[in-house]
Amino acid sequence: MESTSRHMVASVLLVLLLLVATEMGTTRVAEARHRHCESQSHRYRGACWRDDNCKHVCNTEGFPSGKCKFHGFESKCVCTKPCQ
């Protein structure tokens, strides 16, 4: 009788571990889908002050979005897209 209850407890723990491992795996995949890759615009000239201007230039470079980012004292246009 005692060995049956031990097998039952071990089986329940195994199932719980499998469920936790499955949840962790799907979370990592979902996070990877939401990452964005960045690249400094090659066509934007001058200091970047307006995100909408930057986004328009990034669109012409094949990026769906872009925004101004500060690097030290400079503001540059950075284009973004979902990572693959």
Please report, for the chain, the start and end positions of each structural domain, with discontinuous segments joined by +.
1-34, 35-84
- Range among 12-16, 18-22, 30-34, 57-61 with highest mean pLDDT value: 57-61
Cα distance between residue 16 and residue 54, in whole Å: 49
Strands 36-40 and 65-71, by their bridges, are: unpaired
Q: How confident is the model at residue 34 (pLDDT cuts 50, 70, 90)?
A: confident
Q: What pLDDT is stored for residue 27 in this prediction? A: 35
Q: What letter does residue 40 receive in the DSSP assignment? A: E
| pLDDT band (50, 70, 90) for residue 72 | confident
- DSSP H or E run through 57: helix 51-60
| CATH number for domain 35-84, candidates 3.40.50.620, 2.40.260.10, 3.20.20.450, 3.30.30.10 | 3.30.30.10
| Greatest Cα-to-Cα distance within the chain, rounded to the nearest angstrom | 80
Rounded average pLDDT over 67-72: 92
